Amino acid sequence: MKIFFKIQLIIGLLCCHFDLFSQVDSTQYFNLSIEELMNLEVYSASKKKENIMEAPSIITIVPKKDIEKMGVYSLIDVLKYVPGFETSMGSDGNYRVSIRGNRNDGNILVLINGQPTNNFYNGRSVFDFPLALIEKIEIIRGPGSALFGTNAVAGVIHLFLIEENVIGAFGGLNNTFGIYSGAAIKKKEFTFSISGLYQQSDGSKATIEQDAGDKPGNTWNLTYDSLKSSTSRWNKDGLLNVDFYNKKFKVYSHIMYHSNSDYAGNLYILSPGTVNKQFQNISGVSFSHKINEVISVVPKFYYSYLTNDNLFQERPSGYISNISNDTFVDGRKKRESYLTQTFGAEMDFYIKLNERWNLLSGNVFEEIRLNTYDVSRNYKIVGDEYLGSFGNYDNIKLNQKNKRRFIFAYFIQADYSYDKIDLTIGLRYDDYNDFGSSLNPRMGINYKFNENIRLKGLYGKAFRAPTFKELYDNTNIGNEYGVKGNDTLKPESIQTFELALEGTFKKFVVRYNGFYNYNTNLIRIYDPHGSGSIGVFQNIGVTKTYGHELEINWSVNKHFDFYFNFCQFLMDFRWTKENVNEADYEFYEKLDIYYQQMFNIPRIRINSGLHFHLNKFSLFAGLNYGGASFNNHRFYLEKSDLVEIPPYLQANFNLTYAITSQFTAKLMVQNLGKKYTDPDESTNIDVFGGKGLIQANPEYFLSLIFKFKK
């Protein structure tokens, strides 16, 4: 009994979760009918508020009530339920998100209150963003460059911050805990809000039985002697947000800190000493002026400051080089640090031409600076000689240092509404000083058959500008044999055609849509010599993706809510002949047409969720299914790395019990069930074994929530 009591006490202390609310009704969405849910407003599709059914995009809204029902703390745990999304943890400790099979750093634009957060240098986003301060998430599947510019290739994820009085703390197993608070003053004349958060977790670990060290020639790694070891990914996050606005004026500042370790080694060899740190500040001011009854103008000025300090451990402590025979006491390490700044100005014009036509037009100017960049090692590359202290001992040229990028953009969008038809036509032109220009149109037709059924036809084009890392990097960071930049890169682009049918009825909503994506100038790492040595960033080819999605939301009765979604796609790949090795091109062209597809990401995804509430009890149960995936066959080495990643089925639960009107207890389980993924789409896909890279074990949380009365 004493042991059992101690276990209960320890779990209670570790997992205690307190939310202290005042003046807030966080259940505002719980009792909405299907009709009311379909009348929710969205912003991201057109840079203005509009009804979700009329928005010219395939868009998903996740309000705070859904976040609470699922019992999740991180954005990544929400994204795995979105149709067409596939989420996974990469070997380097960064979460990866694909939309309809499109997965690459920088292909998804992440916004916070309308401001981009993507890391300018490498294009990456923080997908395990904490959710305690998030009021709503809007997710667009498909291109968004016609309004937002670069990065909005596969989709847009838009996070909206809370404006409420709240203070809380939470905890869980795996050393998971956090504190957060918010305060808001809402007057007739103005609104002021401030919120902050700190959150950390050691993460749930998984056992690795094989890594790249087991390959011929690699004789030193953590799994070599013990035959198995554990992943080691942890993370820490901090947020501080300040907003002030009235009818004409707005000023804001968002400060974000994120750090994490790797998961299974940044070079696919378990080395738990990696630490990545990122600090970002986004601030701005805007002013809205109504010139007359027809025209309003909104000038905006914004500034972004981002620093990165990354320590990569390539080999664990005690590593003995088989080249120099040196013992690396604290492991073989590299350090990368840089600072970027963005200065931007935008002028938007909102014009109401008449009762049927509305026009949005704007100009954007940005200057982006890579003010500092430095890379150092505790060893010399030549001879693999251990030196202990850090330095640029091989005198590698830092081509990206002090580089600047100037962007000028102009966009225009017209909206027409008459009777049963809503029409959107838009165009954006971006001009970059370092690689050229990009022109991206969009068009959407929304036809309302009756009160219940709508048809959407959508076309959009988007682009992703090459990052400074892809253009100029010459430092070998992130790759054992080296990856060099390529200043002749063209922007990656995509064209998307979608046709969607939506039905809204008293008890349920059904959406079915088909899509076709044509992705050109894919930017990937490519070995031009076919020798498995130094690679280069290259526009390697094009993909054509065909797919369809089904969504069902069903309000069964006052106790049951159910949803289901399904996505399936096929992705064909073709090399760009002039940019790749002739042998690779000829090898691929001779393959059967079936093998000229991309297989490394599950091509079938199914999600479902059931929410049941009765008196004091509430239960959410969710399932995530992903189909089998395999190694690709684009060139000989890729074809020979035989991997069969099994299908997965994971369950998630959140049980809530209202002890009193103020006290609530929650028991949560995330990611129940084994899941494997590809560590890399290319020749490293087999380094963790024939099933791929195992994902983290399930996570368990026990929470107590307390709410203040008014």
The alpha carbon of 635 is separated from its chain's Cα centroid by a whole number of angstroms, namely: 29
CA distance 579 to 523: 11
DSSP one-letter string for 340-403: EEEEEEEEEEEEE-SSSEEEEEEEEEEEEEEEEEEEEEEEETTTTEEEEEEE-TT----TTTT-
What is the percent of the chain where pLDDT is above 90? 59
Q: Which of 150-154, 655-659, 663-667 has the lowest mean pLDDT?
A: 663-667
pTM of the model: 0.91
pLDDT at 409: 96
Beta carbons of 331 and 319 less than 8 angstroms apart:
yes
pLDDT at 225: 55
Residue 567, classified by CB atoms within 10 Å of its CB into exposed (0-12), middle (13-18) or buried (19+), is: buried
Q: Which of 100-109, 146-155, 443-452 has the lowest mean pLDDT?
A: 146-155
Residue 610, classified by CB atoms within 10 Å of its CB into exposed (0-12), middle (13-18) or buried (19+), is: middle
How sure is the predictor about 197, in pLDDT bands with cuts at 50, 70 and 90? Answer: very high
pLDDT at 553: 92
Domain definitions of the chain by residue range: 2-706
Which tens digits make up the pLDDT trace of 273-307? 899 999 999 999 999 999 999 999 999 999 999 99
pLDDT at 10: 33
> Which has the closest alpha carbon to 566: 611, 620, 610, 603?
603
CA distance 348 to 361: 6
Which tens digits make up the pLDDT trace of 42-76? 777 767 677 777 777 888 889 888 888 888 889 99
Beta carbons of 671 and 696 less than 8 angstroms apart:
yes
How sure is the predictor about 659, in pLDDT bands with cuts at 50, 70 and 90? Answer: confident
What is the percent of the chain where pLDDT is above 70? 89
- DSSP letter, residue 646: P
pLDDT at 636: 82
Is pLDDT at 386 greater than 50 in this prediction?
yes
Strands (E), 187-321: 191-201, 207-208, 229-230, 235-245, 249-260, 275-287, 289-290, 295-315, 319-320
CA distance 275 to 287: 40
- DSSP letter, residue 25: -
pLDDT at 363: 96
Is pLDDT at 354 greater than 80 in this prediction?
yes
Which tens digits make up the pLDDT trace of 483-542? 889 999 999 999 999 999 999 888 889 999 999 999 999 999 887 765 556 788 999 999
Is pLDDT at 31 greater than 50 in this prediction?
no
CB contact set of 183 (below 8 Å; sequence gap of 6+): 165, 193, 194, 195
pLDDT at 9: 33
Q: Which residues pair with 59 in a beta bridge?
A: 140
How sure is the predictor about 24, in pLDDT bands with cuts at 50, 70 and 90? Answer: very low
What's the mean pLDDT in 29-41? 52
CA distance 303 to 329: 42
What's the mean pLDDT in 255-274? 90
How sure is the predictor about 167, in pLDDT bands with cuts at 50, 70 and 90? Answer: confident
Token duo for residue 570: 């096929």
Is pLDDT at 13 greater than 70 in this prediction?
no
State the average pLDDT for the chain.
87
pLDDT at 69: 86
pLDDT at 228: 62
SS3 sequence of 454-477: EEEEEEEEEEECCCHHHHHCCCCC
What's the mean pLDDT in 14-36? 38
CATH superfamily of 2-706: TonB-dependent receptor, beta-barrel domain (2.40.170.20)
CA distance 687 to 643: 10
Beta carbons of 537 and 484 less than 8 angstroms apart:
yes
Token duo for residue 223: 């799994």
